[in-house]
Amino acid sequence: MILIRLTAKRQATLPKRLCDEMSLRPGDALVVDEAVIDGRRVWLLSPADQIETPWFASLKRYGKGKRHDMQSVRDSIVKARRDRRI
């Protein structure tokens, strides 16, 4: 049996052995399912399927090395309008 304690913020640390057995890595998500087994309510943990987001960070190259504060963004929009790009 593996015992996991919750912190005051309801956070838990999974033991290394459990993570190894479930092939979990930092950043992975878990699915929690409720089930009734032999008349007893239990909770099942399983690794979530990886969500494919091929578009995620696809625009990163356009922002690399540029400032991202609101004034810089506004200045960029003004410049693009002046250059008739948008």
Show the tokens assigned to 47.
Answer: 């690794």
Distance, CA of 60 to CA of 23 (rounded, Å): 29
Distance, CA of 53 to CA of 47 (rounded, Å): 18
Distance, CA of 76 to CA of 82 (rounded, Å): 10
Q: What is the pTM of this model?
A: 0.50
Quick: pLDDT tens for 31-83: 999 999 999 999 999 998 866 667 777 788 888 888 889 999 899 889 989 99
Phi-psi category of 38—alpha, beta or left, where left has phi over 0 and alpha has psi -120 to 50? left
Where residue 85 falls among pLDDT bands split at 50, 70, 90?
low
